[in-house]
């Protein structure tokens, strides 16, 4: 008896797919308020999981005590500093806007230029000639734009309530993931294995390594540079050092570096005539600005053996595409794609090292097999 293949019920298949799509969309709609907090919690937990295991060994192997200690550590090291920085941004933003918009910016005299040998008098005369030709008018025209830009940046702090809600959700989800981290990881790996067998499992493991590499290599490096740069600003007597430290942290995270903040501060110190502290901050800025060339590659290698250009490209592209959470999404996507592509290519042996031999082999083949 011949086998009769069963005909597919096309409407049933279409309706089944539509039903599944509606269920997925409905579920995502329901959990949408929690997605950002859970994503941040996942990245934090993955990056700090080795720390949790060490703390658990110290606390007599008790997971409950380790989770409590890690949650308290996150609260002290993340929530409180972020809240203080946002509060400082709001407090210092008002005086900055008032100074800028009320005409508090005036061109400096640069009297210290006269003390420069040989060219000091010429530089001093040239600067004052520029001011006489309309330097004050240029500053007056720039003040409204500077004031509007500053107002926009400080206005973003109006979302502090939503931001603190996400921080609270992050803390809650982090505690839950610390408590049941192995079960959650096993469930994700099981789902990935069901989708793509061993390659799916490898993709999940690689994603975890990429997140840890970014957390160590990018975030920790940015924190070190921002803190050291902020210390230099405070010691040099630059006003609003805390506000500039927050800006410097952001510029370091998006890979622009701390010099975009430190160089204007150095110019301002020389502008105001404080050449001693300007020189000190200049030397300190050279140290802080080059620090990432040594720290970042070492920390990234500790997290995952991935190309540095891959991580940095993912950080910048992910930040542009997804916002702050893109710092981790971008490198993870690039790292997983790169590893899967590399594994697929290496499934076959590499071509011969001598191109001429390959061409000769092709020429010797019959025409029907070419």
In angstroms, the CA 268 to CA 127 distance is 15
Neighbouring C-beta atoms of residue 70, cutoff 10 Å: 22
pLDDT of residue 346: 76
pLDDT of residue 21: 92
pLDDT of residue 367: 57
Residue 58 contacts residue 223 (beta carbons within 8 Å): no
pLDDT digits (tens, 9 = 90+) for 278-302: 888 999 999 998 888 888 777 777 7
C-alpha to C-alpha distances, 276 to 74, 165, 231, 269, 286, nearest whole angstrom: 40, 45, 17, 9, 16
Q: What is the mean pLDDT of residues 69-85?
A: 78
Residue 184 contacts residue 174 (beta carbons within 8 Å): no
- Please state the pTM of the whole predicted model: 0.65
Alpha carbon distance, N-terminus to C-terminus of the chain: 43
In angstroms, the CA 316 to CA 334 distance is 12
Cβ density class 331-358: b for 16+ within 10 Å, e for less: bbbbbbebbbeeeeeeeeeeeeeeeeee
pLDDT digits (tens, 9 = 90+) for 187-245: 999 998 998 888 888 888 888 887 887 777 778 888 889 889 999 998 988 887 877 88
- Residue of higher predicted confidence among 162 and 310: 310
DSSP H helices, 75-135, are: 80-101, 120-130
In angstroms, the CA 10 to CA 17 distance is 11
pLDDT digits (tens, 9 = 90+) for 349-363: 777 666 666 666 666
């Amino acid at each position: 008896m011949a086998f009769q293949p069963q005909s597919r019920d096309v409407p049933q298949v279409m309706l089944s797919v539509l039903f599944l799509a509606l269920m997925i969309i409905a579920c995502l709609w329901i959990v949408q308020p929690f997605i950002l907090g859970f994503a941040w919690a996942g990245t934090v937990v993955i990056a700090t999981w080795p720390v949790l295991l060490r703390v658990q060994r110290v606390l007599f192997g008790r997971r409950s005590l380790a989770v409590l200690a890690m949650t308290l550590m996150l609260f002290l090291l993340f929530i409180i500093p972020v809240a203080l920085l946002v509060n400082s941004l709001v407090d210092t933003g008002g005086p900055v806007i008032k100074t800028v918009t009320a005409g508090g910016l005036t061109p400096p005299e640069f009297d210290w230029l006269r003390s420069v040998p040989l060219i000091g008098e010429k530089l001093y005369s040239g600067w004052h000639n520029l001011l006489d030709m309309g330097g004050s008018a240029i500053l007056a025209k720039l003040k409204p734009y500077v004031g509007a830009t500053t107002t926009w940046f400080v206005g973003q702090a109006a979302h502090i309530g939503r931001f603190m809600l996400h921080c609270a959700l992050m803390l809650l989800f982090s505690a839950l993931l610390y408590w049941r981290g192995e079960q959650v990881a096993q469930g994700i790996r099981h789902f990935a294995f069901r989708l793509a067998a061993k390659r799916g499992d490898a993709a999940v493991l690689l994603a975890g390594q990429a997140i840890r590499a970014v957390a160590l290599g990018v975030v920790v490096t940015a924190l070190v540079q921002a803190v050291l740069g902020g210390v230099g600003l405070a010691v040099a007597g630059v006003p609003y050092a805390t506000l500039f430290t927050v800006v410097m942290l952001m510029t370091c995270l998006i890979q622009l570096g701390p010099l975009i903040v430190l160089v204007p501060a150095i110019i301002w110190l020389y502008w105001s005539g404080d050449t001693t502290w300007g020189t000190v901050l200049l030397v300190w800025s050279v140290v802080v600005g080059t620090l990432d060339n040594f720290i970042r590659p070492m920390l990234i290698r500790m997290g995952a053996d991935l190309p540095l250009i891959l991580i940095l490209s993912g950080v910048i592209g992910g930040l542009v595409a997804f916002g702050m959470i893109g710092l981790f999404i971008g490198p993870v996507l690039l790292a997983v794609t790169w590893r899967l592509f590399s594994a697929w290519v290496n499934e076959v042996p590499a071509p011969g090292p001598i191109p001429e031999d390959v061409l000769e082999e092709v020429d010797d083949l019959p025409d029907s097999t070419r």
